[in-house]
Structure 1
């Protein structure tokens, strides 16, 4: 043992310092591996959701933070001059800020996982959950932005030159704030619109919207824009302030259930009662109808046709769309097969013996 100690002390200072740093990194890695081995062992037997989420999200950042912690503890033992020790301290301090900020960002993912585990969004009536997830998404992104901004500020303020420059800049902060505010007014408006959307919630995640002549679901809400997934899987990107300034339809604002309508245009000779009975028979034979609302009414009498409106309810907008298509197809087929004379037609009356030409008829 004494020979090993003597050999270590005879090493050059540079090599000895590297050996101490390497040993600290190895010890940190070993400690990190032992901690996560114990957590995985605990997960296999208990399977708590929070511990599993912590293990998943903090594996990488703690893989840097724990060895870095041991390196910072070993700096005082390095056989280097004071100026080199000071430089190493500054580098380690900056790395500590970066890795600690990384851990905080990952903790926001853990918090989001816990909320998603507590509230299931995949059920039919998920208004409360979508409201919560919309707020969670915006708050999480805002928290990550603040963490990154604060980390960058701490890193810059750790340098004396930057700190002195910041003191001088404070004297002109008013003018700079006005200039920046004018230059970034659209971005600031979007940020404020995002805060308003998150808490007043005219839209939420997974809401069904109709706007700009398009039909789709809210797929993502960022701090500056909203992604709408259209019915054919296209994506419509809109700025946040669009939903503050312009009107749009929200089919799931107060509930996921919706009334579906089908309009038929027939001749005046159509037997309305027979069509009504056929509608009830079709609805009774399909699982798309939620058995709340059904009916058929003559809603208009036009110059050449009657307007029939079939009304039925469904649990969601996607089911309502399928139900409308089914009812439209079945009712048209019923009229074609049973009352073909009730299909829309154009009547003409010829007076006298002369048969009009095609040009005169047209």
Structure 2
């Protein structure tokens, strides 16, 4: 048998054995975990790719040691397989981090009324997961480059030098490093969390996604506002759900001086208590200002989150307007004028 054909046969046999062994192991594992639930089976399937890659690389290393190769070719193949193994280990580490984070966040649900604890853990977990993925990828790429003699020497000389090239690279990486450090700071201090109601750049919306470099805010009209991560560290913004999702809605009324405040308060309280949007916590009606033509009345009512508070405010306005038109028409704002008779002369 020719030498090249023998080498090819050894490599194909090693790859085939590794592929079949990995397939059978994961097939049995998926069936076993499938009895516990589809969730666990899906987690195992997510690890199949990197594990299979690593096993096939190891099989290739074993085949290279057995195959009749010259020292130069054996060294080249060993180097390529070494880089492939580093790639597989990096892939496996990122997938393991992803699987662990999925298991950790499985206990927390965002689709419940009181989701403050869930938002805290989901935000912290996702930010740290992205930062960890970037660090794992950086370590993997560095390890692969360190196996190449020329690149390793160039990297050492670049780090040791203080020339213009090092300055340019440092300045180019500054925004990336700032956002990376801002992501770590956000994960620790958590000024914002997933699904927080915030006002950024004059826009009100909910935090939809936090990546390693930017934050996506879902505006109330379904637009998306993309904000750099360091904006939430360096600039001011409003967070309506920082410690609690409950919000107090404010309704301002401007009525005539002839309004009956007790009757208006009783009607407003009846409206609020009958509304399913009210959380039963805060209600108040107060006269907050007295002007030449109108009386300013402020109504406070609380709701479980920003969306329900907005709808509750609209409901109070609509029903009180109907009440004033039907029961207290004299309380509608009016302009008064004094007419004096002038004698004809």
**TM-score category of the 2 structures, normalised to the smaller one:** over 0.9
Question: Which residue number corresponds to residue 39 of structure 1?
Answer: 29
CA distance in 1 between counterparts of 2:21 and 2:221 reads: 51
TM-score relative to the length of structure 2 = 0.92
Structure 1 alignment gaps of length 5 or more: 1-10, 355-362
Find the counterpart in structure 1 of residue 321 from structure 2: 332
Q: Unaligned 5+ residue runs, structure 2? A: none
Deviations 1:66-99 (A, max 9, x none): 2222222222111222211111111111111111
> Structure 1 100/188 Cα, relative in aligned 2: closer, same or farther at 3 Å?
closer
> How big is the alpha-carbon RMSD for the aligned residues of Structure 1 and Structure 2?
2.1
Residue 119 to residue 173, structure 1, CA distance change in 2 (3 Å): farther
Q: Within 2, Cα distance between the matches of 1:119 and 1:337? A: 49
Residue number in structure 2 paired with 1:223: 212
Deviation at 1:223, TM superposition (A): 2.3
Confirm whether residue 16 of structure 1 aligns to residue 6 of structure 2. Answer: yes
Partners of 2:159 and 2:273 lie apart in 1 by: 73
1:179 to partner: Cα distance = 4.6
- For 1:135-171, what per-residue CA distance to the aligned partner results, in whole angstroms no more than 9, with x for missing partners? 2222111111111111111111111222333343343
| Number of aligned residue pairs | 343
Matched residues in 1 for 2:54 and 2:160: separation?
A: 38
Structure 1 SS opposite 2:184: helix
Three-state SS of the structure 2 residue aligned to 1:118 is coil
Matched, 1:171 2:164: no
1:261-307 Cα distance to aligned partner (Å, 9 max, x none): 11111111111111211112222222111111112111111221111
Mapping of residues 130-169 of structure 1, within 5 Å: 130-169=119-158
Corresponding residue for residue 342 of structure 1: 331
| 8 Å Cα contact 1:205/1:220 also seen in 2 | yes
Counterpart for residue 237 of structure 1: 226
Report the Cα distance in structure 2 between the residues aligned to 1:215 and 1:159, rounded to whole angstroms.
Answer: 51
Question: Which of the residues 76, 87, 92 maps onto 1:87?
Answer: 76
Q: Do residues 197 (structure 1) and 186 (structure 2) align?
A: yes
Q: Relative to structure 1, is the Cα distance of residues 74 and 131 closer, same or farther in structure 2, using a 3 angstrom cutoff?
A: same
TM-score, with length taken from structure 1: 0.88
Query: Separation in 2 of the partners of 1:182 and 1:151?
Result: 23
Contact 1:53 1:113 in 2 (8 A): no
Return the match for 2:254 from 258, 265, 274.
265
Q: Distance in 2 between matches of 1:214 and 1:303?
A: 35
Q: CA deviation at 1:239?
A: 1.6
